[in-house]
Amino acid sequence: MSSTEKIVSRHATSDGIVVWSRCACGRLRMTLIPYDPSPCGQERRLTAGGRCPECG
Ligand SMILES: [Zn+2]
């Protein structure tokens, strides 16, 4: 995770852990971390909004 982001809140849903983080520029971002492990052992994350256009 980028050091420019600060965790705003995190809470459990039926699909996984939802983490809200705020970028250094003020953009709010939601990341879903699913409970089920991926076959390859890597952590899967779904991030809404994609990369920050301001901070990369
Ligand atoms: Zn930013």
Instruction: Give 38 Cα–ligand 1 centroid separation in angstroms.
Output: 29
Question: In this model, does residue 39 exceed pLDDT 80?
Answer: no
Instruction: Give 39 Cα–ligand 1 centroid separation in angstroms.
Output: 32
Stronger pLDDT, 56 or 7, i.e. the higher one: 7
Q: What is the pLDDT of residue 19?
A: 92
In a domain, 37, yes or no: yes
Instruction: Give 55 Cα–ligand 1 centroid separation in angstroms.
Output: 4
In a domain, 36, yes or no: yes
> Rounded to two decimals, what is the model's pTM?
0.65
Query: How many structural domains is the chain composed of?
Result: 1
Q: Nearest-CA neighbor of 26 among 45, 50, 52?
A: 52
In a domain, 23, yes or no: yes
In a domain, 56, yes or no: no
* pLDDT tens per residue across span 4-29: 789 999 999 998 999 999 988 888 88
Stronger pLDDT, 2 or 53, i.e. the higher one: 53
Per the CB < 8 A criterion, the answer to whether 30 and 12 are in contact is no
Instruction: Give 47 Cα–ligand 1 centroid separation in angstroms.
Output: 14
Backbone angles phi, psi at 18, to 5 degrees: -100, 125
Average pLDDT (19-44) is 80
